[in-house]
Structure 1
Amino acid sequence: MLLDAKNAIVYGGGGRVGTALATAFAREGAKVHLAGRTRATLDAVAERIRADGGRAETAVLDALDEAAVDEHADAVAAGSGSVDISVSVIDVADVQGTPLVGMSLADFERPVRIATRSTFITARAAARHMVRQRSGVILTFGGDGGGEPIRDYAIGGFQVALGAVDVLRRQLAAELGEYGIRVLALHTGGITESLPEDFGAREAITDMIVGKTMLKRAATFADVGNVAAFAASDLARSMTATSLNITAGAVTD
């Protein structure tokens, strides 16, 4: 198995992306530590992993609370022996559908603050243990990595937030590389499965996402989990400071 004897922390582990990542890590042999704010959703994912023969633990915490994140990472390292993989996919609570010029400052700032703060806090907590281990993988998630604005839909501060996280990811990779720590992004260009059935703009956004791809389909949650497991494994040991393009050809590198 690709991740045998590894410990992975997934912040936002009760969400749909978090579930995809956690189940893929567990399938490849990692012990998954699910962290989030809602006990019921975390326990449901953990039970699913255990039913499939995997290992999972849960912790209720807010990824924006640095003391709680630090304490949890310390507990994982002490109890399980290491922190090998860390990824935050918490909801950034963005407001979409409103043009930037009609948006309040608070609504614009919210996703930027949540995305950068949670990424920084969780990456720092993991890196403190990874430096000692001289190994580890930090993953970020979201966007298409292409640097182009979304022209056909008002996406608020979300795209700005993803851009900020990408810069943070590159800087972390530059500073942590000497300790054997890799930092990678997963760029999907959008997962149409994630759009609620009752979302008014669902069809338009699906068409926009799929229409940009060469494969005429979007990445699935399963695709994300499979690529993340590869990225976190030793098969990708020479990859850092870059993104894994799973946009189905929406972005060319």
Structure 2
Amino acid sequence: MLLEGRNAIVYGGGGSIGGAMARAFAEQGAHVFLAGRTQAGLDAVAAEIVANGGRADTAIVDARDEAAVDAHADEVARAAGGIQISVNVITDNDVQGKPAAEMAVADYLAPVEVGLRSRFLTARAAARHMKQQRDGVILMFGGDGDRSAHRRNHQLGGLVTGFSAIEALRRQLACELGEYGIRVITLQTGGVPESIPAELEWRAPIEKSLVESTLLGRAATLEDVGNVAVFAASDWARTITGAAINMTCGAFVD
């Protein structure tokens, strides 16, 4: 198995994206530590992993809380013997559907402040342990560079600005941590329709738009997300760092 003997922290592990990654990590032998703010969601993913023969632990952790993040990472490293994989996919608290010129400053900056703060805190906590091991992978999710995000009447608020800030963090961390054998990678997505709550009335048009923007005529699935995350975290991707792995199905052409 590609991740046998490795410990992976998944912040936002009770959600659709985090859960997909956690299940895939566990299927490939990793001991998964699910962290988030909703116990029921974490427990559901953990129960599925354990039922399939995997290993999973849960903890209530606010990824925006410096002390909580540091304490949890320290406990995982102490109990499990290290941290080899860290990925943060918590919600960005973004506000969409309104022109930027008409938005409240707090609404526009929410995905920048929440996204950047939480990614910095969780990456820093993992890096402190990974440096001692001289090994590890920190994964980001989202990415930037897709010009389609800046089309007329495509009102995403500060979400793309937040993604760009996180990408700047990814590049900086990759440059600073490479000498310790730590890789930092973004999984670049053009959107995952399955992650949109089914009860939302606008899911269908958004899914249609996501699919139509691709070259392959389909969007990434949650299974795709898990598979690409496993690849990025494994030694099969040992030459990749400081980069974004494009899993947009051609919505963004490098």
- Shared fold, TM over 0.5: yes
Q: Quote the offset at 1:135 in angstroms.
A: 0.4
Gaps of 5+ in 1: none
Q: What residue is the counterpart of 2:214 in the other structure? A: 213
SS in structure 2 at match of 1:26: helix
Q: Quote the offset at 1:252 in angstroms.
A: 1.5
Q: What residue is the counterpart of 2:175 in the other structure? A: 174
Q: Quote the offset at 1:171 in angstroms.
A: 0.5
Cα distance per residue 1:55-108 (max 9 Å; x no partner): 000111100011111111111111000100001000111111111111100100
Q: C-alpha separation between the residues in 1 aligned to 2:45 and 2:225?
A: 17
Q: Quote the offset at 1:4 in angstroms.
A: 0.2
Once structures 1 and 2 are overlaid, which stretch shifts more, 97-106 or 4-13?
A: 97-106
SS in structure 1 at match of 2:34: strand
Task: Say if 1:11 and 1:36, in contact at 8 Å, map to a contact too.
Answer: yes
Q: C-alpha separation between the residues in 1 aligned to 2:147 and 2:212?
A: 18
SS in structure 1 at match of 2:183: strand
Once structures 1 and 2 are overlaid, which stretch shifts more, 220-229 or 91-100?
A: 91-100
Q: What residue is the counterpart of 2:103 in the other structure? A: 103
Give the RMSD, CA atoms, in angstroms. Answer: 1.2
Q: What residue is the counterpart of 1:240 in the other structure? A: 241
What one-letter code is carried by the residue in structure 2 that aligns with 1:219? A
Q: Quote the offset at 1:148 in angstroms.
A: 5.3
Task: Say if 1:138 and 1:183, in contact at 8 Å, map to a contact too.
Answer: yes
Q: C-alpha separation between the residues in 2 aligned to 1:88 and 1:147?
A: 24
Once structures 1 and 2 are overlaid, which stretch shifts more, 49-58 or 193-202?
A: 193-202
Counterparts of 1:2-17 in structure 2, within 5 Å, are 2-17=2-17
Q: C-alpha separation between the residues in 1 aligned to 2:241 and 2:196?
A: 30
| 2:150 equivalent to 1:150 | yes
Q: What residue is the counterpart of 2:87 in the other structure? A: 87
SS in structure 2 at match of 1:149: helix
Task: Say if 2:36 and 2:61, in contact at 8 Å, map to a contact too.
Answer: yes
Q: C-alpha separation between the residues in 2 aligned to 1:42 and 1:198?
A: 21
Q: Quote the offset at 1:147 in angstroms.
A: 5.4
What one-letter code is carried by the residue in structure 2 that aligns with 1:82? G
Q: C-alpha separation between the residues in 2 aligned to 1:166 and 1:95?
A: 20
**Identical aligned pairs, as a percentage?**
58
Q: What residue is the counterpart of 1:75 in the other structure? A: 75
Q: What residue is the counterpart of 1:19 in the other structure? A: 19
What one-letter code is carried by the residue in structure 2 that aligns with 1:134? R
Distance 1:165 1:236, change over 3 A: same
Q: C-alpha separation between the residues in 1 aligned to 2:252 and 2:130?
A: 32
Q: C-alpha separation between the residues in 2 aligned to 1:117 and 1:179?
A: 23
SS in structure 1 at match of 2:149: coil
Cα distance per residue 1:129-167 (max 9 Å; x no partner): 000000000000014543553315211111111111011
Q: What residue is the counterpart of 1:201 in the other structure? A: 202
Distance 1:159 1:233, change over 3 A: same
Q: C-alpha separation between the residues in 2 aligned to 1:44 and 1:162?
A: 29
Q: Quote the offset at 1:183 in angstroms.
A: 0.1
Q: What residue is the counterpart of 1:121 in the other structure? A: 121
Q: TM-score with structure 1 length normalisation?
A: 0.97
What one-letter code is carried by the residue in structure 1 that aligns with 2:202? A
Gaps of 5+ in 2: none
SS in structure 2 at match of 1:120: helix
Where do 4+ consecutive residues of structure 1 move more than 6 Å?
none
Distance 1:74 1:147, change over 3 A: farther
What one-letter code is carried by the residue in structure 2 that aligns with 1:246? M
Q: Quote the offset at 1:201 in angstroms.
A: 3.1
Task: Say if 2:9 and 2:32, in contact at 8 Å, map to a contact too.
Answer: yes
Cα distance per residue 1:24-51 (max 9 Å; x no partner): 0000000000000111111111111000
